[in-house]
Structure 1
Amino acid sequence: MKTILHTATSRGHAYHGWLNTYHTFSFANYYNPERVHFGALRVLNDDTIAEGEGFDTHPHDNMEVITIPLHGAVEHKDSMHNSEIIRSDEIQVMSAGTGIFHSEYSKDGFGDTSLLQIWVFPNKKNVTPRYDQISLADVAKKDELYQVLSPNPDDQGVWIHQNAWFHLGDLSEGWTGEYTLKNPGDGVYFFVIEGEAEVAGQKLNRRDGFGVWETDTIAIKAIKQTQLLLMEVPMYF
């Protein structure tokens, strides 16, 4: 088993007044040659956006873009004519493919918005762009690691063009369990949204990230009430 620890305090950080953002991996003006990506996981940004503020229309291509609001709501518009509100109990995905433009704003009336924006390298380039979002309430299960993303359109959660699986866990203090990898050559990146956990013997605090690979199963314990995100991705792609 191999592991890598990225503590919350070691992340890149930028404050723009309207945006307070932390970067687990190199992004924008933050560059660390040892933290460019974890396998196919390219970006893990932890953003807080002031109410009514946001990102003006900008492009993406050949990337799988996943947004998970934690508090508040995101107002989304794109060149595929989608105009949606993404709330804190939902997950959104865009396959940028041949290219899309979109904007994201912290929706008025919902207060400041906290969200995770995640980019995953696709396994197919220049696909037709697509958009999807679902309610997590439809799949959430207390004290279980429930799937929210996969490579299969017919499976639970949203899907992307990559052999990746994301799970969330709302875990009670003292919960123990394990995660079994779907593919032996994959790695799993754990991110503690809230709480405190132990993963493969490593203690993790709020907003810590921890990558694990070259193993089949990974032991997990919730030291406190914990919200945990697991992202299984190919290490080589």
Structure 2
Amino acid sequence: MMITQVDTQAQIYLQNQRGKFQTKEFRSFYTLNFGDYNAENREPFGNILTWNDETLLPQCRHSIIVEEPTRIILLPLVGAIEIDEGKKVKYVDSGESLSLLVTPDNGFEITNPYPDKVINYLQIRVLANDQFAEEKTLIAFDLNRNNQLLPILNDIPDQTKLLIGKYDGREEGVYYSKNPSGNVFVFIIEGAFEVQNRLLERRDGLSLKGAVEVEFEALSNEAILLIMESAG
């Protein structure tokens, strides 16, 4: 794989070095600092505040609260999640992503709707500001469209973008940064990839600063990655 030579700064976040919080009903792994987890070099990346990999047992609930206006992106990986905002309930299934603008006075609950199935989802938090036009966006995508990046977050004025792709072994791809800062965060959901000449495996992350192009190659079949471009 040919890598474009640019002045980039990179940091790998290994899955086995993540923070962890667990109860008898709920478990969350923290790629970035969150709650009581505060480790060196795990600070927010650009406007990405939180990157949590969460598991919820059958028919259990988990409350979401924030201390400042925050864009929360929920991406089910195994099963569906139920969102209870008090007045109405919304279901988000695998193959969908939900983006919510949350303020300190309008938190919500995530519920596992299944009687006998564990669910797994990503919770990503992004610093919100007045430029966000929509309070809630549900986007469906088809991961059977192999070997291409699919947008799963509407374009918004602050240049935050999120894409997902499933790749066959040895298939290559390139993401071209739209943000002058070139702040890009890559997260491996399944399988293994080589990203900018770095090996990343399941649930590893990689932050890149000043990345004009991000080149990657799948090292296993049905490998899935997320690419998020961050402002700031």
Scaled by the length of structure 2, the TM-score of the pair is: 0.89
Unaligned runs of 5+ in 1: 153-160
**Shift of residue 129, structure 1, vs aligned partner:** 7.8
Deviations 1:119-178 (CA, angstroms, capped at 9, x unpaired) = 0012328x79822212223x86311011111334xxxxxxxx632011101011001121
Q: Distance in 2 between matches of 1:176 and 1:129?
A: 34
Query: Which 10-residue stretch deviates more, 9-18 or 104-113?
Result: 104-113
Task: Give the counterpart of 2:224 among 216, 227, 231.
Answer: 227
What is the Cα deviation at residue 33 of structure 1? 4.2
Which residue of structure 2 lines up, in the alignment, with residue 130 of structure 1?
135
Counterparts in 2 of 1:36-55, with a 5 A limit? 36-55=43-62
Q: Cα–Cα, structure 1 residues 12 and 179, in superposed 2: closer, same or farther, change >3 Å?
A: same
Q: Does 1:64 align with 2:94?
A: no
Q: 1:71 to 1:217 in 2, by over 3 A?
A: same
Aligned match of 1:218: 214
Structure number with the higher strand fraction is: 1
Q: Is the 8 A contact 1:40 1:121 kept in 2?
A: yes
Which of 136, 151, 155 matches 2:155?
151
In the aligned structure 2, how far is the partner of 1:88 from the partner of 1:128? 25
The percent of aligned pairs where both chains have the same amino acid is: 22
Q: How many residues align?
A: 224
Q: Which runs of 5+ in 2 are unaligned?
A: 1-7
Q: Give the 5 Å matches for 1:9-88.
A: 9-56=16-63, 58=65, 61-79=68-86, 81-88=87-94
CA distance in 2, matches of 1:217, 1:123: 27
Deviation (angstroms), 1:213:
1.7
Is the contact between residue 99 and residue 129 of structure 1 (CA under 8 Å) also seen in structure 2?
A: no
Aligned counterpart, 2:189: 193
Match of 2:118 in 1: 112
Letter in 2 for 1:53: C
Task: Return the alpha-carbon distance in structure 2 between the equivalents of residues 232 and 102 of structure 1.
Answer: 26
Moved over 3 A (4+): 56-61
**Kept after mapping to 2: 8 A contact 1:26/1:32:** yes
Look up the SS of the partner of 2:43 in the other structure: coil
Inter-partner Cα distance in structure 1 for 2:109 and 2:16 = 29
Cα 1:18–1:164 change in 2 (3 A) is: same
* In structure 2, distance between residues paired with 1:228 and 1:17: 29
* Structural RMSD (CA): 2.1
Q: TM-score scaled by structure 1?
A: 0.87
The aligned counterpart of 2:200 is: 204
Change (3 A) 1:59 1:219: closer
Q: Deviations over 1:31-55 (max 9, x none)?
A: 1242121111110000010011121
After TM superposition, give the deviation of residue 28 of structure 1 in Å: 1.5
